[in-house]
């Protein structure tokens, strides 16, 4: 038998063994469910949920179905993940640069922070931040007031809500225009720095939109502020907890990537007369990014999974809404857990694919 | 002498009949329920312990003291069952279960019985493959609120935010209540009571909701219990009790009658202290049957004749258990619905005869 044939034979055996094991366990589950008189099926997703989701970005009402609850919770998870990824990256970069700065105070601070953060349990940190945030904020009847319609208290940050067709259109178009311009900046031959031009344009658009909108200001009625938009303290605590924890790991990844760039690059940049700041921004970081992306991908995937810890502090994400409330109400343990795993797998595969695409784009092109 | 083919034919017929008889008797044996005490008890005896699923920590029902010893009415039930079935109240292995995992643990066979302040409901009975055996505590969902907010009725909670534990029927009850009364009550969902209580004390929510029995226990753990009060109004019915896995009716009968025995004991004045003496000297045939001095109640269940006597001697009758864990010296929760039917409550033990 040729070695190729042998390899093929082994692979066939491996596939058969795996398939047998999977079929055995699937059969085991089906039989045992039948023996215990437990039904299996996803029909329950269309049943009415009947419970409230305290914080939701997608539309939610108690009369919606369990399926919609999964969607609403998934959006909440994605929202928290996005915030945490941005915050953790910024914090991580800051910590890494402090650690490499050569300034004794900055180096010491960064090192101490990283060690403390990454050597204590993450759940503990999140709960700690939650109660720290709650303790720091004033009680509801002594809210911090900014202007006449922005309130900050232990229940959250209350902002006036804008509405109106014209407002929707102008804000939507401003965002779209600015994002497209930012992506195509070099291709349309703009020479001015993006960051100097685009933010003012966006702000101008939003201000114009603001004049056309109807504003619904929050006001204290009975137990709570009514009207407006509310940013709950839970999202703040979760964002702090997850991003600070992960930033310690990202900082070490970035530091490793920067140290991995040959010293000659820095010396060459200096000899060309670049300042240390520009050397870092224009020469070192772009090259370090190439080494950085694979470990950074893992950290981002960890962040997405870590948002489930929000269940401990009342942030309504997938685990809490689906694997707790829906599981208990419907009694469909296997189906619900399969769905939750599937959703996380899907989110993480997409995130991973995006990071890999970025990695391929940055990789050295066969020089 | 018959011909060979005829002999073969006859042998074949006999074999067929014999085979059919064996098959039929096998099928009949299979269709019959296992003889008492049933497979669950056989497994317990082999193991030498009752696997009892309990709460991870709610004063009154199941909580550990600083020496790691469990206390609570659910614990007393576990011990009484172990005493009746295995002859020793200490032959119990406790498994603390979270609200989310409790039924799965029972379905999977890791525990023999779930006594975890769990409400008996339609879904749990029909979808989960469990059977409701008995109710050991009639509760209802209530609210623990700050006195200073000045609310006396649940309907006045319009616009309030309530901290809730997930994994129970609490959220659905609030939503149902809100829909039926038109009051909008916000909820904040936590995994564990500790965080929910701390958030409530920090002012994040206006109150906390749980079963009335647990609320009294929770209030006792607050920093300033006097600043808080448990609203008398209940928004749901929560019959808490014993769940068993479907499929072993013998075991369910044993659990059901142990619960009945504990309540009957209270009805007939049999206590932990006087049980032995009554067994010897009572003239009431009902008491004599209950305590195993007459009749053969034990045999019918697959136990010995003094099963009920042993169960009663663990922590007393039902009333004594309630007194220990919820009475004036403990959580001070009036008996209300948890009294015997003779005192305006709902506990109505079926006659043991």
Dump pLDDT digits (tens) for A274-326: 998 889 888 998 899 988 999 999 999 999 999 999 988 989 999 989 888 88
Q: Provide the H-helix boundaries in chain A.
A: 3-35, 66-100, 104-118, 122-136, 165-184, 194-212, 233-259, 263-271, 276-278, 285-306, 318, 327-330, 333-362
According to DSSP, residue B261 is labeled: H
Substitution target from A42, A51, A317 for chain B, most B beta carbons within 10 A:
A51
Tell whether A251 and A352 lie within a shared domain. yes
| Segment B313-338, tens digit of pLDDT | 999 999 999 999 998 888 888 888 89
Cβ contact (<8 Å) for A320 and B191? yes
> Is there a domain that residue A138 lies in?
yes
Residue B25: pLDDT over 70:
no
Identify the structural domains of chain B with CATH numbers, from first to last: 39-139+239-340 (3.40.190.10), 143-236 (3.40.190.10)
Grade residue A206 by pLDDT with cuts at 50, 70 and 90. confident
Domain boundary pick from A182, A197, A216: A216
> Is there a domain that residue A203 lies in?
yes
| Segment B204-262, tens digit of pLDDT | 888 999 888 888 888 888 888 888 988 888 888 889 999 999 889 999 999 999 999 99
Residues from chain B that touch A62, judged by Cβ atoms under 8 A, are 175, 178-179
Residues from chain A that touch B175, judged by Cβ atoms under 8 A, are 50-52, 62
Domain boundary pick from A216, A239, A255: A216
Task: Output the pLDDT for position B76.
Answer: 96
3-state secondary structure of B131: strand
Cβ contact (<8 Å) for B187 and A62? no
Residues from chain B that touch A327, judged by Cβ atoms under 8 A, are 100, 167
Task: Output the pLDDT for position A50.
Answer: 81
Do the beta carbons of residue B162 and residue B187 sit within 8 Å? yes
Tell whether A261 and A135 lie within a shared domain. yes
Lowest mean pLDDT among A326-340, B88-102, B167-181: B167-181
Dig out the tokens for A317 from the structure. 């994400």
Q: What percent of chain A has pLDDT over 90?
A: 45
String of DSSP letters for A271-339: HTT--HHHIIIIIIHHHHHHHHHHHHHHHHHHHHHHGGGGGGGT---HIIIIIIIIHHHH--HHHHHHH
Residue A334: pLDDT over 80:
yes
Substitution target from B110, B114, B182, B203 for chain A, most A beta carbons within 10 A:
B203
Lowest mean pLDDT among A177-191, A325-339, B65-79, B113-127: A177-191
Question: Which among B100, B178, B199 has the least Cβ separation from residue A324?
Answer: B100
> Is there a domain that residue A56 lies in?
no
Residues from chain B that touch A127, judged by Cβ atoms under 8 A, are 195
Tell whether A119 and A251 lie within a shared domain. yes
Q: Distance (Å) from the C-alpha of residue A167 to the closest C-alpha of chain B?
A: 29
Cβ contact (<8 Å) for B158 and A155? no
Residues from chain A that touch B198, judged by Cβ atoms under 8 A, are 131
Cβ contact (<8 Å) for B159 and A37? no
Residues from chain B that touch A313, judged by Cβ atoms under 8 A, are 190, 195, 199
> Is there a domain that residue A43 lies in?
no
Cβ contact (<8 Å) for B159 and A222? yes
3-state secondary structure of A254: helix
Dig out the tokens for B142 from the structure. 């209530």
Grade residue B23 by pLDDT with cuts at 50, 70 and 90. low
Question: Which among B161, B172, B189 has the least Cβ separation from residue A223?
Answer: B161
Tell whether A128 and A250 lie within a shared domain. yes
Tell whether A109 and A201 lie within a shared domain. no
Do the beta carbons of residue B158 and residue B185 sit within 8 Å? yes
Task: Output the pLDDT for position B5.
Answer: 60
Grade residue B1 by pLDDT with cuts at 50, 70 and 90. very low
Task: Output the pLDDT for position B21.
Answer: 58
Can you give the residue range of the structural domain that contains A195?
Answer: 161-216
- CA dist A125 and A123 (Å) reads 5
Cβ contact (<8 Å) for A325 and B195? no
Cβ contact (<8 Å) for A155 and B199? no
Residue B28: pLDDT over 90:
no
Task: Output the pLDDT for position B31.
Answer: 45
Task: Output the pLDDT for position B2.
Answer: 54
Handedness of CA A237, A242, A245, A251 (dihedral sign): negative
> Is there a domain that residue A201 lies in?
yes
- In degrees to the nearest 10, what's the CA dihedral of B285, B289, B291, B294? 90
Q: Which residues of A touch B (CB under 8 A)?
A: 35-39, 50-52, 54, 62, 127, 130-131, 134-135, 139-140, 154-155, 221-224, 226, 233-234, 311-314, 316, 320-321, 323-325, 327-333
- CA dist A359 and A305 (Å) reads 22
Residues from chain B that touch A50, judged by Cβ atoms under 8 A, are 172, 175-176
Lowest mean pLDDT among A70-84, A109-123, A217-231, B25-39: B25-39
Tell whether A140 and A225 lie within a shared domain. yes
Mean pLDDT value across residues A79-103? 94
- CA dist A217 and B352 (Å) reads 67
**Between residues B17 and B190, which one has the greater pLDDT?**
B190
Task: Output the pLDDT for position A169.
Answer: 87
Residue B27: pLDDT over 60:
no
Tell whether A211 and A318 lie within a shared domain. no
Residue A214: pLDDT over 90:
no
Task: Output the pLDDT for position B13.
Answer: 66
Q: What percent of chain B has pLDDT over 70?
A: 90
Grade residue B14 by pLDDT with cuts at 50, 70 and 90. low
Domain count, chain A: 3
Task: Output the pLDDT for position B314.
Answer: 94
Tell whether A254 and A281 lie within a shared domain. yes
Q: Distance (Å) from the C-alpha of residue B128 to the closest C-alpha of chain A?
A: 6
Task: Output the pLDDT for position B242.
Answer: 95
Grade residue A160 by pLDDT with cuts at 50, 70 and 90. confident
Tell whether A143 and A190 lie within a shared domain. no
Rounded to two decimals, what is the model's pTM?
A: 0.75
Minimum CA–CA partner of B193 in chain A? A312
> Is there a domain that residue A53 lies in?
no
Domain boundary pick from A216, A242, A263: A216
Across chain B, what does the average pLDDT equal? 86
> Is there a domain that residue A44 lies in?
no
- In degrees to the nearest 10, what's the CA dihedral of A161, A166, A169, A172? -30
Tell whether A143 and A249 lie within a shared domain. yes
Residue A2: pLDDT over 80:
no
Residue A101: pLDDT over 70:
yes
Question: Which among A52, A224, A325 has the least Cβ separation from residue B166?
Answer: A325
Task: Output the pLDDT for position A93.
Answer: 94
> Is there a domain that residue A244 lies in?
yes
Q: Distance (Å) from the C-alpha of residue B127 to the closest C-alpha of chain A?
A: 6
Tell whether A227 and A321 lie within a shared domain. yes
**Between residues B275 and A163, which one has the greater pLDDT?**
B275
Question: Which among A36, A37, A328 has the least Cβ separation from residue B99?
Answer: A328
Residues from chain A that touch B245, judged by Cβ atoms under 8 A, are 36
Tell whether A288 and A344 lie within a shared domain. yes
Grade residue A71 by pLDDT with cuts at 50, 70 and 90. very high
Substitution target from A324, A326, A327, A337 for chain B, most B beta carbons within 10 A:
A324
Question: Which among B129, B174, B206 has the least Cβ separation from residue A38?
Answer: B129
Q: What percent of chain B has pLDDT over 90?
A: 42
Across chain A, what does the average pLDDT equal? 88
Q: Per DSSP, what are the bridge partners of residue B243?
A: B114, B132
CATH code for position A221: 1.10.3720.10
């Amino acid at each position: 038998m040729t070695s190729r044939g042998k390899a093929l034979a082994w692979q066939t055996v491996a596939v058969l063994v795996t398939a047998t094991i999977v079929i055995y366990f699937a059969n085991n589950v089906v039989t045992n469910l039948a023996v215990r008189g437990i039904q299996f099926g996803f029909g329950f997703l269309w049943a009415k949920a009947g419970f409230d989701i305290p914080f939701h970005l997608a539309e939610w009402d108690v009369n919606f179905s369990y399926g919609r609850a999964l969607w609403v919770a998934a959006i909440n998870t994605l929202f928290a993940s996005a915030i945490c990824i941005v915050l953790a990256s910024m914090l991580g970069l800051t910590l890494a640069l402090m650690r490499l700065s050569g300034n004794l105070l900055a180096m010491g601070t960064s090192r101490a922070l990283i060690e403390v953060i990454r050597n204590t349990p993450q759940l503990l940190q999140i709960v700690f931040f939650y109660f720290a945030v709650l303790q720091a904020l004033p009680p509801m009847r002594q809210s911090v007031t900014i202007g006449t319609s922005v309130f900050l208290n232990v229940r959250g940050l209350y902002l006036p809500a804008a509405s109106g067709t014209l407002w929707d259109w102008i804000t939507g178009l401003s965002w779209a225009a600015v994002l497209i311009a930012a992506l195509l900046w070099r291709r349309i031959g703009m020479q001015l720095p993006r960051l100097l031009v685009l933010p003012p344009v966006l702000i101008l658009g939003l201000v114009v939109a603001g004049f056309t909108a109807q504003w619904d200001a929050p006001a204290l009625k009975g137990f709570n502020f009514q009207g407006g938009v509310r940013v709950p303290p839970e999202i703040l605590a979760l964002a702090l907890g997850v991003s600070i924890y992960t930033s310690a790991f990202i900082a070490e990844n970035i530091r490793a990537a920067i140290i991995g760039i040959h010293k000659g690059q820095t010396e060459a940049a200096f000899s060309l007369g670049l300042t240390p700041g520009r050397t870092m921004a224009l020469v070192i970081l772009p090259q370090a990014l190439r080494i950085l992306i694979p470990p950074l991908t893992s950290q981002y995937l960890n962040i997405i999974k870590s948002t489930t810890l929000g269940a401990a502090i009342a942030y309504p994400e997938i685990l809490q809404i689906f694997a707790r409330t829906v599981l208990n109400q419907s009694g469909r343990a296997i189906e619900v857990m399969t769905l939750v795993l599937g959703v996380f797998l899907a989110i993480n595969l997409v995130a991973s694919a995006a990071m890999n695409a970025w990695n391929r784009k940055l990789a050295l092109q066969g020089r | 002498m018959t011909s060979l083919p005829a002999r073969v034919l006859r042998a074949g017929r006999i074999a067929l009949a014999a085979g059919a008889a064996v098959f039929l008797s096998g099928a009949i044996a299979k269709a019959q329920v296992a003889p008492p005490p049933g497979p669950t008890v056989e497994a317990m005896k082999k193991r030498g312990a009752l696997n009892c699923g309990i709460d991870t920590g709610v004063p009154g029902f199941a909580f550990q003291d600083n020496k790691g010893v469990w206390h609570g009415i659910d614990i007393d039930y576990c011990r009484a069952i172990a005493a009746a079935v295995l002859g020793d109240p200490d032959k119990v292995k406790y498994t603390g279960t979270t609200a989310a995992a409790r039924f799965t643990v029972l379905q999977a066979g890791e525990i023999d019985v779930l006594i975890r302040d769990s409400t008996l409901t339609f879904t749990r009975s029909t979808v989960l493959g469990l059977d409701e055996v008995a109710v050991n505590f009639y509760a209802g969902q209530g609210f623990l609120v700050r006195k200073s907010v000045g609310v006396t009725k649940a309907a006045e909670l319009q616009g309030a935010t309530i901290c809730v534990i997930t994994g129970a029927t609490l959220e659905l009850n609030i939503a149902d209540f809100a829909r039926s009364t038109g009051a909008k009550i916000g909820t904040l969902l936590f995994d564990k009571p500790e965080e929910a209580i701390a958030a409530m004390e920090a002012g994040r929510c206006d109150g906390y909701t749980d079963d009335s029995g647990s609320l009294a226990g929770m209030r006792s753990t607050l920093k300033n219990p006097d600043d808080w009060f448990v609203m008398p109004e209940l928004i749901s019915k929560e019959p808490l009790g014993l769940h068993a896995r479907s499929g072993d009716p013998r075991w369910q009968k044993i659990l059901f009658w142990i619960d009945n025995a504990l309540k009957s004991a209270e009805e007939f004045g049999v206590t932990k202290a006087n049980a032995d003496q009554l067994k010897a000297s009572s003239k009431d045939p009902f008491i004599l049957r209950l305590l195993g001095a007459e009749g053969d109640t034990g045999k019918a269940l697959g136990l010995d004749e003094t099963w009920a006597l042993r169960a009663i001697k663990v922590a007393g009758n039902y009333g004594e258990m309630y007194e220990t864990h919820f009475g004036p010296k403990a959580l001070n929760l009036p008996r209300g619905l948890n009294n015997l039917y003779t005192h305006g409550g709902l506990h109505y033990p079926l006659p043991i005869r």
